[in-house]
C-alpha cells in the first residue's frame, strides 16, 4: 500500500467541507469525502471531527466495531507529519498499520464490557421479590382464614 505520504496538521485543516473532508485518527490521515453520506453515524459528526483536528478521541469514544476499523483502511491517504505513534513508521514496510488497528479494537471492546459484580444483585433482587410475594400470599390465604 502507499501509506507513506506525510501531511502537516495545518494542511489537513484546509479540508473540512462536504466536498473535501479529511481527518486524522491515531496519526493516520483519512479522506472521508466519499464516505460522508454512507457513514452510519452521519456526516455531521465526520465534518465536526474534521474541523476539530485530531479525531482520535471522538472515534474511540464511539467504540467502533472491527468492521468499521477495517473499512478505514480504504480511506487512508497518508500519515500526520511528526506523529510519533505506531502509524508513522518512518517509511518502514507497513505491517504496523493493520496491527495497530487490531490492538485498538481489542482494547475498546475490553473497556466497554460491563462490570461482573452486578450479576449477584441481578440474582438476589428477583429472589427477594418472589419471597415477599409468597409471604403476602401465605398471610392472606391461611392466616386471615384462621382468624375468621
Ligand atoms: C474513516 C473513519 C470512520 C469510519 C470508517 C467509520 C465507520 C463507522 C461504521 C461502520 C459505523 C457503524 C457502527 C460500527 O460498525 O461501529 C459507525 C458509526 C458511528 N460513527 Fe463512525 N466511522 C469513522 C469515523 C468516525 C468519527 C471520526 C466519528 C466521531 C465523531 C464517528 C462517529 C460515529 C458515530 C456517532 C456512530 C454511530 C454509533 C451508533 O449509532 O451506535 N465515526 N462509523
The CATH architecture annotation of domain 6-112 reads Roll (3.10)
d(CA 138, CA 134): 6
pLDDT tens, residue by residue, 1-31? 444 799 999 999 999 999 999 999 999 999 9
Which residues have CB under 8 Å from 91's CB, separation 6+?
4
Nearest atom, ligand 1, residue 55 CA: 27
Q: Dump pLDDT digits (tens) for 23-80.
A: 999 999 999 999 999 999 999 999 999 998 899 999 999 999 999 999 999 999 999 9
Q: Which residues pair with 8 in a beta bridge?
A: none
Confirm whether pTM is higher than 0.80.
no
How many A from CA of 111 to the centre of ligand 1?
17
What is the Å distance from ligand 1's center to 10 Cα? 24
The finding on whether 72 has its CB within 6 A of some atom of ligand 1 is yes
ipTM: 0.93
Q: How far apart, in whole angstroms, are the C-alpha atoms of residue 49 and residue 43? A: 10
Amino acid at each position: 500500500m502507499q501509506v507513506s505520504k506525510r501531511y502537516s496538521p495545518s494542511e489537513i485543516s484546509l479540508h473540512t467541507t462536504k466536498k473535501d473532508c479529511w481527518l486524522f485518527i491515531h496519526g493516520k490521515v483519512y479522506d472521508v469525502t466519499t464516505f460522508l453520506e454512507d457513514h452510519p453515524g452521519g456526516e455531521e459528526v465526520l465534518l465536526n471531527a474534521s474541523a476539530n483536528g485530531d479525531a482520535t478521541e471522538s472515534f474511540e469514544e464511539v467504540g467502533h466495531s472491527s468492521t468499521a476499523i477495517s473499512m478505514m483502511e480504504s480511506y487512508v491517504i497518508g500519515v500526520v507529519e511528526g506523529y510519533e505513534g505506531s502509524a508513522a513508521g518512518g517509511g518502514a514496510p507497513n505491517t504496523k498499520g493493520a496491527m495497530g488497528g487490531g490492538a485498538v479494537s481489542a482494547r475498546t471492546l475490553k473497556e466497554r464490557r460491563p462490570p461482573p459484580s452486578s450479576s449477584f444483585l441481578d440474582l438476589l433482587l428477583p429472589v427477594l421479590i418472589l419471597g415477599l410475594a409468597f409471604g403476602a400470599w401465605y398471610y392472606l390465604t391461611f392466616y386471615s382464614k384462621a382468624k375468621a
